[in-house]
Structure 1
Amino acid sequence: MFEGVAYHEVMEETVTAEHAPPPAPGAERYPSLALANSTIALPGGHCIDQLGTPASANHWLTERGLAPADAGLREMCAAQLRSLREQIRALFASRVEGLPALPAALTAVNDAMTRVPTAPLLCWDDKDGPYRATPHPTTQIVDHALAALAADAADLLTSPDAERLTACGSAPCTRYLLRHGRRHWCSTRCGDRARAARAYARRAGRT
């Protein structure tokens, strides 16, 4: 049974890597933007969830230096990450559309940021005396990752870059990006699809 589960997870990661578009503009700078885009809508009603299993969620965090490769995330941890993703997406949508933020989304992000110490705590060693240290036991790996991602989202939303935050303009894509110039597409693939759709609409209109 273990081998079957492992094979399924490996296959899922292979499909994800093969079909997923490149990171959207800004996602390499802001991990929270990458988190918001970690669910990818594809043509034909298909969807890729880069956090869909504990193994893929662990891999996603490891790629961004937020967890060791052998962290051994459980489903509960992956579910917490997916939940934060939805709350951050809600805040990004509010910012892009100029709407008030959902209170539940604000609460979730603030709770994640305050879940772990923001400063090194005072500790005391019987031999060497007082020292400062930030606790980071294995059981708090996910809490620290969630706090880092929530803080990054808060930084993005309150920075000048928030003016460039926009949603990809090519259906069915649901990713967010930081706009450069007039570009409203998260990837060349989406841009080509949008142009093709416009060309088809023009031809259909003439006929």
Structure 2
Amino acid sequence: MRVMTAEPVLPPAPGADEYPALDFVNSAIALPGGQFIDLFGTPKGANEWLAERGLAPADAGLQEMCTTQLRSLREHLRALFSARVAGLPALPAPLAAVNDALRRVPTAALLQWDEKEGPYRAAPHPINEVMDHALATLAANAADLLTSPDAERLTACGSTPCNRYLLRHGRRHWCSTRCGDRARAARAYARRTQPKAD
């Protein structure tokens, strides 16, 4: 398997704009030909991903330990999403990991005051707690998705070898047009090469 760390060409899966946790779970992408993209393959890639989503400063200077924490939570969330899609009970370890992430930061948003913009509310998270804040935010968003009515629409992409999740809209079972085209082409090829019955 060839591991790539560059930004993928795939657009965000349906539902990722509503649930950043869906985008987070989809940050490890299996592609045709045995290729694999991991957006958390390097601390720099992880820092960029978090910064683009307002979960860490661009200059947070994440270390390998941080990417390991992100990859671990991602795998636990993938296990929970998989259990939900399959209609199976969740294993204790993924549940414990999510709840541990949720307990790491204060939940009350404090009143802050910006000299130019005025008052606003934000949960405190000193720079040394950036990872705790990011992990808690992603875990909370995943918990929100899994406990919302939208969880009924959660599904895995129906195109092999894609491993991304999406929120189904209508009959669509693919995370992108590219995956849909690949699935339709595979079905057409299977029909053409199927032996004809006499």
- TM exceeding 0.5: yes
CA distance 1:184–1:133, shift in 2 (3 Å): closer
| Unpaired segments ≥5 residues, structure 2 | 111-120
Are 2:70 and 1:75 equivalent residues in the alignment?
no
Partner of 1:142: 131
Which structure shows the higher helix fraction? 1
Partner of 1:158: 147
- Residues 21-30 or 170-179, more deviating: 21-30
Indicate the SS of the match to 1:177.
Answer: strand
Name which of 168, 180, 190 aligns with 1:179. 168
CA distance 1:133–1:155, shift in 2 (3 Å): closer
2: CA distance, partners of 1:134 / 1:33:
23
Name which of 16, 28, 31 aligns with 1:39. 28
Indicate the SS of the match to 2:174.
Answer: coil
Paired letter, 1:20: V
1: CA distance, partners of 2:122 / 2:61:
24
2: CA distance, partners of 1:120 / 1:33:
24
Indicate the SS of the match to 1:47.
Answer: strand
4+ long deviations beyond 6 Å: none
The correspondence of residues 114-133 of structure 1 with structure 2, limited to 5 A, is 114-120=103-109
1: CA distance, partners of 2:40 / 2:181:
27
2: CA distance, partners of 1:33 / 1:133:
23
Indicate the SS of the match to 1:20.
Answer: coil
2: CA distance, partners of 1:87 / 1:103:
10
The structural deviation recorded for 1:20 is 3.0
Q: Deviations over 1:130-171 (max 9, x none)?
A: xx9843211100100000000000000000100000000000
C-alpha contact 1:20 1:48 (8 A) present in aligned 2: no
C-alpha contact 1:20 1:40 (8 A) present in aligned 2: no
Indicate the SS of the match to 1:166.
Answer: strand
Name which of 88, 104, 115 aligns with 1:99. 88
Are 2:11 and 1:22 equivalent residues in the alignment?
yes
1: CA distance, partners of 2:67 / 2:107:
23
CA RMSD, 1 decimal: 1.7
1: CA distance, partners of 2:128 / 2:95:
25
1: CA distance, partners of 2:25 / 2:122:
31
Partner of 2:113: none
Paired letter, 1:200: Y
Q: What is the TM-score with the length of structure 1 in the denominator?
A: 0.85
Indicate the SS of the match to 1:101.
Answer: coil
